[in-house]
Amino acid sequence: MSFLDDATLQNLESKANQIRQSIVSMLVEAKSGHTAGPLGMADIFTAFYFHILNHDPKNPDKEDRDRLILSNGHIVPVRYATMAHAGYFPLEELKTLRKFGSRLQGHPERHMLPGVETTSGPLGEGLSQGAGIAYAGRMDKKKFFTYVLLSDGEMQCGLTWEAGMFAAANKLGNLIAVIDRNNIQINGTTEDVMPLEPLADKWRAFGWHVEEVDGHNISGFIDAINHAKAITTAPSMIIAHTIPGKGIADIEYDFKWHGTPPNADQGAEFLKELRTLQGKIEGGHSE
């Protein structure tokens, strides 16, 4: 059962759709970048920045903040857009995505943008970074949670599983990871390139608490996070089933949009579709 009231849930769904619109506009302006993954993760990032995280946009380095690690850095447009909507920097700055000198590079850079915890580019590193941060936090008797966002394609990286063993061996109950299970990668579906299933059973076998959720059900995702936070003797893995390209019917599930940005005409059509959906959400008729 969700603890969100209807008004709060509607506001979160509305915010996620606004973030999708910002992602499309950013990618059109940049003329490069990734489309499918950022659109698919907008609901989860909205849940984190507008409900789950202990954070402060005006004091992004506060000591007791929760840490959010983005391992699959190529979907960073969704993080930038969400951070801007949350008040970390002006929305206008989103137009500088991937431009020379911008703080908003194609992969996040820790020293360039306050509120970004790690630099990420090569896949497979985030869970090791997060496990180290969680371990250090426990050593220092800190109460913050460390969250790590991973792509399902990263499950093909051996380092991810080494980090999984370390976190389980050390019973890092302050570590919660989320897999974006959208079933695509740059050259096809994950199950065609290198099958991952049974993914949940694999993580359970490694000693993790595992939950599977609909990554577009904001209320259900928040409930899963709350369940994970109550597990104190093991790290938690949430497998979030998402739709790549979510919100744009013509590109949903299409792996070809993994690393392809919309052109100006496509962007205009995408925005039209998302604005129509915005009206439905605000009118109380979300998907």
Tokens of residue 192, six digits: 């065609």
Instruction: Report how far apart the first and last C-alpha atoms of the chain are (Å, whole number).
Output: 19
Q: Name every residue whose Cβ is closer than 8 Å to that of residue 40 and which is 6 or more positions away in sequence.
A: 180, 182, 215, 242, 243, 244, 245, 246
We report the CATH number of the domain holding residue 217 as 3.40.50.970
Please answer whether residues 42 and 100 qualify as being in contact, where contact means their C-beta atoms are separated by less than 8 angstroms: no
Instruction: Please give the residue range of the domain that contains residue 155.
Output: 6-282
Does the pTM surpass 0.75? The reply is yes
pLDDT in tens, 133-152: 999 999 999 999 999 999 99
Q: Confirm whether 287 is domain-assigned.
A: no
Type of residue found at 150: L
Q: Confirm whether 234 is domain-assigned.
A: yes
pLDDT in tens, 19-34: 999 999 999 999 999 9
Say how far apart CA 249 and CA 285 lie, in whole Å.
17
State the DSSP string of 158-222. HHHHHHHHHHHHTT-TTEEEEEEE--EETTEEHHHHS---SHHHHHHHTT-EEEEEETT-HHHHH
Structure confidence at residue 2 (pLDDT): 53
Please answer whether residues 25 and 51 qualify as being in contact, where contact means their C-beta atoms are separated by less than 8 angstroms: no
Q: Confirm whether 37 is domain-assigned.
A: yes
Structure confidence at residue 286 (pLDDT): 56
Q: Confirm whether 135 is domain-assigned.
A: yes
Type of residue found at 232: T
Which of the residues in the chain have pLDDT under 70?
1-2, 285-287
Residue burial 148-166, b: 16+ Cβ < 10 Å; e: rest: bbbbbbbbbbeebbebbeb
How many residues can be counted in the chain? 287
Q: Confirm whether 78 is domain-assigned.
A: yes
Structure confidence at residue 69 (pLDDT): 98
Residue in 49, 106, 78, 109 with CA at minimum distance from that of residue 242: 78
Say how far apart CA 57 and CA 45 lie, in whole Å.
15
Say how far apart CA 257 and CA 39 lie, in whole Å.
11
Q: Confirm whether 258 is domain-assigned.
A: yes
pLDDT in tens, 68-111: 999 999 999 999 999 999 999 999 999 999 999 999 999 999 99
How many structural domains is the chain composed of? 1
Q: Confirm whether 150 is domain-assigned.
A: yes
Q: Is residue 169 exposed (0-12), middle (13-18) or buried (19+ Cβ within 10 Å)?
A: exposed
Q: Confirm whether 82 is domain-assigned.
A: yes
